[in-house]
Amino acid sequence: QVQLVESGGGLVQAGGSLRLSCAASGSMFRINVMGWYRQAPGKQRELVARIGTGGTTNYADSVKGRFTISRDDAKNTVFLQMSSLKPEDTAVYYCYANLSPHIGGSVYAAPRDYWGQGTQVTVSS
């Protein structure tokens, strides 16, 4: 069983910074992609940023130049450094991971998606 545990959300003034962390734990697995999505009230969940193996990154246009995603594979952890925060960044932020559970030896199961419980980020104007 795999769990994603998020931390780092909170309340910050516009222009401020926050750093989110998400650690994957549980059964052995291989991490393919990790990332962050967010959902504001009354809106659909949207991609914020994701990072693949080798460090390939993708960002939503709305956060480019302000947010930075990184990962520490040794700790199965992904980070989201958020700077120059705006009130429109207010949302519940969800950690996402696409993982291949380890079956045995060099064999891994088909990849599947996992989600964290979400952490609230509120940016005041």
| Stretch 44-56: mean pLDDT | 95
Identify the pLDDT of residue 70. Answer: 97
Identify the pLDDT of residue 58. Answer: 97
Identify the pLDDT of residue 101. Answer: 87
DSSP alpha helix (H) spans, the chain: none
Q: Does the structure show a pLDDT above 90 at 40?
A: yes
- Nearest to 71, CA basis, from 33, 120, 101: 33
Q: pLDDT tens digit string along 66-116?
A: 999 999 989 999 999 999 999 999 999 999 999 998 888 889 899 999 999
Identify the pLDDT of residue 29. Answer: 87
Q: Does the structure show a pLDDT above 90 at 53?
A: no
Cα–Cα distance, 31 to 58 (Å, whole number): 16
